[in-house]
Amino acid sequence: MQNKGFIRVFAVLLTLVCLFYLSFSLVTRHQTKKAEEYANGDSAKYAQFMDSISTEKVYLWYYTFKQCREMEIGLGLDLKGGMNVTLQISVADVLKSLSNNNPDVNFNKALAEATANQAENKDFLSAFYDAYKRLDPNVKLSAIFSTFQLKEKIKPNTPNDEVLKVLRSELNDAIDNSFNVLRTRIDRFGVVAPNIQRLEKDGRILVELPGVKEPERVRKLLQGSANLEFWETYNLNEFSNQLSAANEIIAKLESEKAGATTTVADSVATVAVADTAAAVPVSKKDSIAQKIKELKEAENEKQNIEAWKKQNPLFSKLQMNVSPDGRVSASPAVGIAHYSDTAAINRYLALPQVRELLPANLMFKWGVKAIDEKEQYYQLVALKSTNGGRPPLEGDVITDAREDFDRTTNSAIVSMSMNAEGSKIWEQLTRENIGKCIAIVLDNQVYSFPVVNTEISGGNSQISGNFTPEEAKDLANVLKSGKMAASVKIVQEDIIGPSLGQEAIQAGIISFIFALVLLMIYMISMYGVAPGLIANGGIICNLFFTMGVLASFQAVLTLSGIAGLVLSMGMAVDANVLIFERSKEELRLGKNLKTSISDGYKNAFSAIFDSNLTSVITGVILFMFGTGPIKGFATTLIIGILMSFFTAVFLTRLVFEKGLDKGWFKNLTFTTPLTKNFLAHPSVNFLGQRKTAYIVAIVLVVLGIVSFGFKGLNQGIEFTGGRNYIVRFDKPVSTVDIADKLKPSFEGSTLSVITIGGDNQVRISTNYKIADSSEGVDTEIESLIYNGLKDGNYIGDISQQQFKDQHVMSTQKVGPSIADDIKIGAFWAVIFSLIAIALYILLRFRDISFSVGTLTALAFDTVIIIGFYSIFYGILPFSMEIDQSFIAAILTVIGYSVNDKVVVFDRVREVAGIYPKRDKKIVINDALNSTLSRTINTSSSTFIVLLCIFILGGDTIRSFTFAMLLGVIIGTLSTLYMAVPVAYELQSRKQKKELAAEAAKAAK
């Protein structure tokens, strides 16, 4: 093997990089454990400890705890839980916008009254209209809403009920826009696989984000409306004298407010100190007297400082931007202040007496970022309003935004492009402010105020602000994903437990470890100790490298991601099986061990490369077009396949070659007593059985389609929506135990139970009778929950009404978290990936029959699995729910099945190349029989892993693993009895046509 040195160096560097990024998880785990020990179950103490070390350097004398948490590998909602946020979109803002900010007093009073009572009302619009009618019985809504924007829908004489219909439609569109903007932002935030659902109440959206490490960053991301503005600025030296006068005015007002003060307490304290000095023995009097003198001086200094603060209330909180020699800065930066003082400063500067002193068009905004390491001090910036209170340029002119890097300052920036109108205004604005600053403001916070050196034409500009790459990415994300139709605020925020349940996760981890051990034993028993250990070492390296690279991307690992890991591990095993089987064949031809291993690697390379590349193509397309679980699956799959290719093809070969040079491997046969004669010379007539296979396949497909048409699928809450019930208990509870008690009552419906806000509070979610909107459904579900829990010593001997009053904290009706466009996106992602696979197989094998055979078999695999879930849900003794995890399982099956088919087609091509004149039927049967040992070994090894997880992993992931188990069996059979036979049929027809054409030509 060439380039051994490069491979060794690359392997060492990759190992160091993975160790570095995985080490952050160890550091955060250590600090979290310290916090838990300190808190001893007290959540307030725990939060206090975590906040206290947030900016402390805890790793390598450089990384703060906050940075370490950002760098660690995260776990998704299903594995770890996360942050539950309920957002309220301001419906009043939407109505104001639709009215073109109408100043009508009664209109604005009605909006305020409806907003104040919004928590009690599901229908904001009805509450607003009722309030408006009380204020003005003769109200005519068309007078308010017949604006230019709505001129086609609302005329001056349109009746109120028609206006309300239009407004309701516009409100829904605005909320949908905000919903989509939020979802786009969250999706671009990273591979987080969030849940986002509309609630029944007007303008409410529920967002669940996994393993949130930066709550403040998330809050900004969710609440920012993307209201971008460009403002001219004032320099401090232009109004510093007025600010000094304002400081005096504020001092006078504060003094009048406080009233007269007395110094009696100070006098008493002084007397007490003097008496103490007199009572001291002579031997110690001098030294103590000196100490008392120092204390008195310090006390006097403290009193002087307090007196100065009273005289300068503004400047005591706002440190002015003044040089040590007293020169006032010619910059828009007014000064800095501690975050706890910003509210008081805002109050001072908003006083009418202060506004009279300052220029009328002067505005103040705070900088978005703290300027110190402890993140406590923020900058105040002076803006100039020259356009009637509106900025000269707004963010609606932005056509694109992206994170970038400024090599001059070595910092992250955001590059923007503007439309033609914005470019023209921007050029004029920069021309008029050369030598001055222009402030870039987003959602009332100043991101930067660069000096304009020259006019900027073309509409391209940049936002700088000493950003981290994450901050630049978030800013570009917010600008690009669009502006909210209305302001958004967080009305409720909770910490939620993992949706799979802690017990299920532990069972899943144990089952995965057990499966890995069994897999290693299987490899050793099939190929011998040395080859088995080398292959097992490659699998472990593959997992280590995959997790390390995932950590470097700050990716979030979910159940879908684990599916990708299982698939990549299966492909790593498959690569080793291919190599060992080819090496075994070379040994049977009489070659020596070193040549056999070398030729085994060489002959297996094309099959390994093709199968891995088709899976990577699938992963890339799924990543580009997919969202949520699909993107998480694709990310893990791509990384896992690349790492498995490197470990199986290069690292294991290095070990074999080193062992051969050292004389460690002398009698390798790649067999054991169990496998010495296992499928040594199989002769199965696969093509002869194809007609029977076709009949069986058609029957299965028809049964599946009929069941799907009449019975449908057991869709989960992600697809149907559902109802959430927050239930609080008097003691900590087990979510798995509660789910077990409730499942009999909700048979045939989806049910999930997770902790929320604390270990004595759970959220019970179900899609039971989700299509029924009658008022009695909530009562019926509460009755089912009550009856399910009353025998479990959870709620005691109380009535259903007492249960509702004392334990049911809230109820919510939520929409589906997988919206229609996500379903469509997932569908097209799968279709495009299949087309790409077919095109690659066509280019690689130069035979369209292989592409058609692959697509036919993959379609068969998918239809059979979906049909099986339709036929047997409610019959088999575990949940067969169609949810996000099921999507990941189907994708895993497709990836696994493609890999299997490419390997077999590669051997068909190879045998056909060796025997070009041999009958195609014999060629294909020989190819299938020669790869049969590899097919069975790969399928068996993957089956072992999945079977262990299925049996030991717990009920919550049983449906997920069963789909993959089914996929392994069906995918293997479809290769042998569907993909290859279909390719043979097409090749035979083509051959018959060619022979007929030659015969016709010869007859002429």
- Class of residue 261 by CB neighbours under 10 A (exposed 0-12, middle 13-18, buried 19+): exposed
Transcribe 722-750 into DSSP letters.
EEEEEEE-SS---HHHHHHHHGGGGTTS-
Beta-carbon contacts of 443 under 8 Å, excluding residues fewer than 6 positions away, are 223, 224, 225, 226, 227
- Asked if the model's pLDDT at residue 628 lies above 70, the reply is no
Pair of tokens at residue 787 = 């009856």
Are 247 and 313 in contact by the 8 Å Cβ rule? The answer is: yes
Give residue 787's domain range: 722-814
pLDDT at 755: 82
744 part of a folded domain:
yes
- In Å, what is the CA distance from 494 to each residue of 389, 761, 763, 817? 38, 11, 11, 18
More confident residue, 77 or 41: 41
Beta-carbon contacts of 74 under 8 Å, excluding residues fewer than 6 positions away, are 80, 192, 210, 211, 213, 554, 555, 556, 557
Q: What is the pLDDT of residue 1?
A: 60
Q: How confident is the model at residue 808 (pLDDT cuts 50, 70, 90)?
A: confident
What is the rounded CA–CA span in Å between residue 786 and residue 744?
13
Query: Can you read off the two tokens belonging to residue 102?
Result: 């109408």
pLDDT of residue 822: 60
* pLDDT over 80 at 468, yes or no: no
Consecutive H or E run containing 496: strand 488-496
- Calculate the CA 391 to chain-centre distance: 34
Please provide the average confidence, as pLDDT, over all residues in the chain.
80
Q: How many domains does one find in the chain?
A: 5
**479-490 mean pLDDT:** 65
The amino acid that residue 930 corresponds to is S
Least confidently predicted of 283-292, 637-646, 691-700, 987-996? 283-292
Report pLDDT for 282. 38
pLDDT band at 23 (very low <50, low <70, confident <90, very high): very high
Domain co-membership, 628 together with 732:
no
Give the alpha-carbon dihedral of 853, 854, 857, 862, to 10 degrees.
Answer: -150
Q: Does residue 942 surpass a pLDDT of 70? A: yes
Per-residue pLDDT at 486 exceeds 70: no
Which one of 783, 814, 845 terminates a domain? 814
Question: What is the C-alpha to C-alpha distance for residues 365 and 345, in angstroms, rounded to an integer?
Answer: 11
Question: Which of 96-105, 329-338, 714-723, 863-872 is predicted least confidently?
Answer: 714-723
Q: Are residues 802 and 900 in the same domain?
A: no
Distance of CA 649 to the CA centre of its chain: 32
Identify the sign of the CA torsion 178, 179, 182, 188. negative
**Within a domain: 51:** no
Q: Is the pLDDT of residue 267 over 70?
A: no
Which position has the higher pLDDT, 594 or 770? 594
Q: Is it the case that residue 20 has pLDDT exceeding 90?
A: yes
942 in the same domain as 872: yes
Highest averaged pLDDT of the listed ranges 209-223, 268-282, 488-502, 671-685 = 671-685
Closest CA to 337 of 357, 314, 304, 355: 314
Handedness of CA 169, 171, 172, 173 (dihedral sign): positive
H or E element, residue 445: strand 445-448
Q: Is the pLDDT of residue 234 over 90?
A: yes
Q: Are residues 837 and 802 in the same domain?
A: no
262 and 203 assigned to the same domain: no
Q: What are phi and psi of 370, to 5 degrees?
A: -70, 150
Instruction: Identify which of 409, 462, 244, 441 has the alpha carbon closest to the alpha carbon of residue 335.
Output: 244
pLDDT (tens digit per residue) in 32-41: 888 888 888 7
For 301-313, how does the pLDDT look when each residue is reduced to its tens digit (9 = 90+)?
667 777 888 888 8
Whole-number pLDDT of residue 270: 31
The encoded tokens of residue 246 equal: 């304002």
Give the up-direction half-sphere exposure of residue 527: CA atoms within 13 A in the CB hemisphere: 27
| Secondary structure of residue 103 in the 3-state scheme | coil
Domain of residue 803, CATH code = 3.30.70
The residue ranking higher by pLDDT, 650 or 295, is: 650
Q: Is residue 966 part of a domain?
A: yes
870 and 964 fall within a common domain: yes
Q: Are residues 266 and 324 in the same domain?
A: yes
638 and 548 in a single domain? The answer is: yes
Over residues 623-638, the mean pLDDT reads: 72
486 is a domain residue: no
Residue 621: strand, helix, or coil: helix
Q: Is the pLDDT of residue 968 over 80?
A: yes
394 contact partners, CB below 8 Å, separation of at least 6: 227, 228, 229, 230
Report the C-alpha gap between 947 and 950 in whole angstroms. Answer: 5
Does any domain span residue 456?
A: no
Tell me the C-alpha distance between 433 and 619, whole Å.
49
Higher pLDDT, 186 or 29: 29
Of 764, 799, 814, the last residue of a domain is 814
Please tell me whether residues 174 and 293 are part of one structural domain: no
Answer yes or no: is 67 within a domain: no
Please write the tens of the pLDDT for every residue from 541-593.
988 999 899 888 777 677 667 767 776 777 788 888 888 888 888 888 888 88
- 581 with 708, same domain: the answer is no
Q: What pLDDT is attached to residue 629?
A: 61
CA count, 13 A, side-chain hemisphere, 683: 1
Reported as a pLDDT band with limits 50, 70 and 90, residue 949 is: confident
Residue 112 domain-assigned (yes or no): yes
pLDDT, greater one: 814 or 615: 615
User: Given a cut of 90, is residue 692 above it in pLDDT?
Assistant: yes
- Higher pLDDT residue, 790 or 977? 977
> Residue 269: its pLDDT value, please?
32
> For residue 56, is pLDDT > 90?
no
886 and 963 Cβ atoms separated by less than 8 Å: yes
Q: Rounded to 5 degrees, what angle do the CA atoms 175, 482, 188 make?
A: 100
What is the CA angle 723-724-727, rounded to 5?
A: 140
Q: What is the pLDDT of residue 981?
A: 93
Contacts of 416 (CB under 8 A, 6+ apart): 398, 400, 401, 460, 461, 462, 463, 479
Distance (Å) of CA 8 to CA 5, 104, 481, 659 = 5, 76, 44, 15
Is 70 exceeded by the pLDDT of residue 367? yes
Three-state secondary structure of 153-214:
CCCCCCCHHHHHHHHHHHHHHHHHHHHHHHHHHHHHHCCCCCEEEEECCCCEEEEEEECCCC
Is residue 269 within 8 Å of 262, Cβ to Cβ?
no
Which residue from 580, 473, 502, 599 is spatially nearest to 534, judged by alpha carbons? 580
Note whether residue 470 is domain-resident: no
> Is the confidence at residue 138, as pLDDT, over 90?
no
522 and 621 housed in the same domain: yes
d(CA 399, CA 521): 58
Location of structure tokens 């504060």 = 254
Whole-model pTM: value is 0.63
Q: What is the rounded average pLDDT of the residues 508-531?
A: 84
Q: Which of 761, 784, 814 is the last residue of a domain?
A: 814
Q: 446, 365 in Cβ contact below 8 A?
A: yes
Mean pLDDT of 78-95: 76
708 burial type by CB count under 10 A (0-12 exposed, 13-18 middle, 19+ buried): middle
Check pLDDT > 90 for residue 292.
no
Eight-state DSSP code of residue 976: I
**Residue 409 near residue 464, CB atoms below 8 Å:** yes
More confident residue, 185 or 537: 537
- Phi then psi for residue 685, to 5 deg, are -90, 80
Query: Domain of 641: which CATH number?
Result: 1.20.1640.10
- Asked if residue 635 and residue 509 are part of one domain, the reply reads yes
pLDDT score recorded for residue 264: 33
List of residues 6+ apart from 370 with CB closer than 8 A: 339, 376, 377, 378
Q: Do residues 599 and 591 make contact, with C-beta atoms less than 8 angstroms apart?
A: yes
Longest Cα–Cα distance of the chain, Å, equals 140
Highest average pLDDT, of 212-226, 229-243, 252-266, 478-492, comes from 229-243
pLDDT reported for residue 281: 37
Q: How confident is the model at residue 277 (pLDDT cuts 50, 70, 90)?
A: very low
